[in-house]
Amino acid sequence: MDTRVMTRQEVEGGVTAARGFAATGIHCGVKKAKADLALVVSELPASTAALFTVNRVPAAPVLVDRALMARSPYKRALLVNSGNANACTGERGMQDAWAMVRATADALGLDVADVLISSTGVIGQFLPIEKIERGIRAAADALSSEGSADAAEAIRTTDTFAKQYALTCEIDGKTVTVGGMSKGSGMIAPNMATMLAFITTDAAVEPALLQSALVRANERSFHRISVDGDTSTNDMVAVFANGASGARRLTSSDDPGYEEFEEALEHVCVELARMIVRDGEGATKFIEITVAGAASEEEAARGARAVANSNLVKTAIHGEDANWGRILAALGNADIAFDPARVEIRLGEVVILKRNFVIDFSEEEAAAVLALPEISISADLGEGTGEATFWTCDLSARYVEINANYRT
């Protein structure tokens, strides 16, 4: 029995579930009427780790955050606006991003190095910076230890629902909470829908160790989802650890409790990532793809990603067809080592391809699996012990409509 798992428990809330965090979400006027400004504040300086888009066209807030992280890995505040991504906005975009940082620091009595910011929404347009500055002052007055839902609401763009998740776990006998919020649902224009995720925890973790935990968790969660395979100019994942739980400070991966923290962080990231896929544009089916028996975890992940990004697999699932050939061909495109004759592919529990290309499954059983709203595809390559899971959604005519006719 895995006792570590037993200590994890889902709880209500998101970024304010952990002790010592307050948040809010308000309307400041970037959008016409909906909430568009989220503020998250930690009572104590929080060790902070962050990952940013690898797109060559990073938005201004990403550039500013990189500079802020270089100044200090301890943060007190996170400000996010939705409705405008402040991307492809040149010099003025940079000035506006710095103005957001300054306004946040001023409103909360902090140093600029204590702040991170993020923007999501349309690109190529300047921010209404005065509205945001006024909004920041209003948000600072509205902070609440129960504000997580409002914050999650305020970072939405094309998301059809707000996304938050939290759990508690035990680190060396103390209860620690990890919670977060995310947004993202594919693309809608003239925006590129950004994937954002912000996690707070009252665990105490050294910044460098927190960064490595985030890299690992991100690799197994946000990096393993895909709606349409594109990454945006503003993608960002950050975690803030303020130590308010009183649990022992984790300084090394050998510390008792570190493994539990690492798994709890991964768990929260996976839940937040899965919510993004569930909200995929035009999606009618949620698809979990597991590749096992690969030469390494990295090869398994590469294979699962290739299947998840295949338009042919995604349309076949949309059409509820047990097309093992498209799955096998997608694996064949993944540049990983395997012998096709040793591959076994399952849809749910139905083995649709046995070794040596033997096909003898019941079409009815496969049809029953394919009719479900959540479908698991698993492939065993028969090469080694590497395993990885990837999440995606089907490709529907509705996706095309949303992305072709967004202006009308």
Long-range contacts of 358-365 (CB under 8 A, 24+ apart): 359/324, 361/322, 363/322
Residue 335, burial from CB neighbour count under 10 angstroms (0-12, 13-18, 19+): exposed
Selected from 24, 47, 242, 396, the binder of a copy of itself by CB under 8 A is 396
Candidate segments 35-43, 127-135, 136-144, 224-232, binder of a copy of itself by CB under 8 A: 224-232
Footprint of a copy of itself on residues 54-83 (CB under 8 A)? Answer: 55-57
From first CA to last CA, the distance across the chain in angstroms is 56
Q: Give CA separation, 54 vs 235, 286, 331, in Å.
A: 8, 26, 25
Interface pick for a copy of itself out of 338, 361, 390, 391 (rule CB under 8 A): 338
Cβ atoms of residues 61 and 103 within 8 Å:
no
Q: What minimum distance in Å lies between the beta carbon of 22 and a copy of itself? A: 34
Site string for a copy of itself, 308-337 (x = CB under 8 A): -xxxx--xx-xx-x-xxxx-xxxxxxxxxx
**In the numeric block, which tokens belong to residue 197?**
């995720």
Q: Is 399 in the site for a copy of itself (CB under 8 A)?
A: yes
256 scored as a contact of a copy of itself (CB under 8 A)? no
Q: Which of 159, 234, 238, 240 is nearest to 204 (CA)?
A: 240
Q: Is 363 in the site for a copy of itself (CB under 8 A)?
A: no
| Residue 288, Cβ density class (10 Å: 0-12 exposed, 13-18 middle, ≥19 buried) | middle
Q: How far is the CB of 159 from a copy of itself (least distance, A)?
A: 17
Task: Check if the beta carbon of residue 265 is closer than 8 Å to that of residue 49.
Answer: no
Residue 368 Rama label (left phi>0; alpha psi -120 to 50; beta): alpha
Binding flag, residue 139, a copy of itself (CB under 8 A): no
Closest contact distance (angstroms) between CB of 13 and a copy of itself is 33
**Residue of the chain from 233, 242, 290, 392 that contacts a copy of itself (CB under 8 A):** 233
Can 120 be counted among the known catalytic residues? no
Q: Which residues are catalytic?
A: 194
Question: Which residue ranges make up the site for a copy of itself (CB under 8 A)?
Answer: 55-57, 87-90, 123-124, 187, 189-192, 228-233, 309-312, 315-316, 318-319, 321, 323-326, 328-338, 340-341, 356-357, 359, 395-397, 399-401, 403-407
